[in-house]
Each structure stands twice: as C-alpha cells, then as structure tokens.
Amino acid sequence: RKEVEQDPGPFNVPEGATVAFNCTYSNSASQSFFWYRQDCRKEPKLLMSVYSSGNEDGRFTAQLNRASQYISLLIRDSKLSDSATYLCVVNIAYGGATNKLIFGTGTLLAVQP
C-alpha cells in the first residue's frame, strides 16, 4: 500500500464547477500536510498547507481529519488555469528538523471551457 493515496482522475469539469479531491495516508507519525500543484512538464509548487481546523485560501479550501488519516482539497468556481495535477503531500517525522515529504501520485484536473 502506498504511503499517500489519491484518486488519479482525470477529473474533467466545466468552468465554474466545484471539485473535491481526497487523499489518505497510512503513517500515523505524519506531522504536517500540504497540497502541491504540478503543471504539465513543470516542477511541483506548494499550493497550501492543511490544518486540522481547516483552512481557506481564496477559492481553495483544505481539510484534515487526523483520526481518519484523510485530507481533502475543495476548489470552488473552477478556472481554466486550475487545470493541473494536484499532489497530496505528507511530512513524516524523521528526527530533528529534517523533513521527509512523501508525495501522493497526484490527481489530474482538467477544467473545460
């Protein structure tokens, strides 16, 4: 079983739609959680951190459920420019201040005009 699992998609949605991505992780020692975005043939970039209380950044809302080891990302009012692969990322405790970020396989979003 992969440490971080996501539905690979693709999710094909019309502009303006609301879309939700889910992610589960297996390591209960995971300390912190993130969503990254990767455009086609580009490097991944941090989209947002995920907190237990839930957090919002414009049209994007992230939620974490530690008990269920489940992370979600909601995108409202989808734009064409949101088309990308969304990577769920978990930071495993490695000792000291060393970060070991484990990436999910990503969910591909294609927003259609």
Which parts of this chain interact with another protein (CB under 8 A)?
A: 31-34, 42-46, 49, 85, 87, 89, 91, 94, 97-103, 105-106
Q: Indicate the residue among 18 and 99 with the shorter CB distance to another protein.
A: 99
Least separation, in Å, of the C-beta of 34 and another protein?
A: 4
Cβ distance 35 to 55 under 8 Å?
A: no
Least separation, in Å, of the C-beta of 60 and another protein?
A: 15
Cβ distance 100 to 91 under 8 Å?
A: yes
Report helix, strand or coil for 78.
coil
Least separation, in Å, of the C-beta of 77 and another protein?
A: 25
Q: Indicate the residue among 21 and 33 with the shorter CB distance to another protein.
A: 33
Characterize 77-88 residue by residue with b for buried, 16 or more Cβ atoms within 10 angstroms of its Cβ, and e for exposed: ebeeebbbbbbb
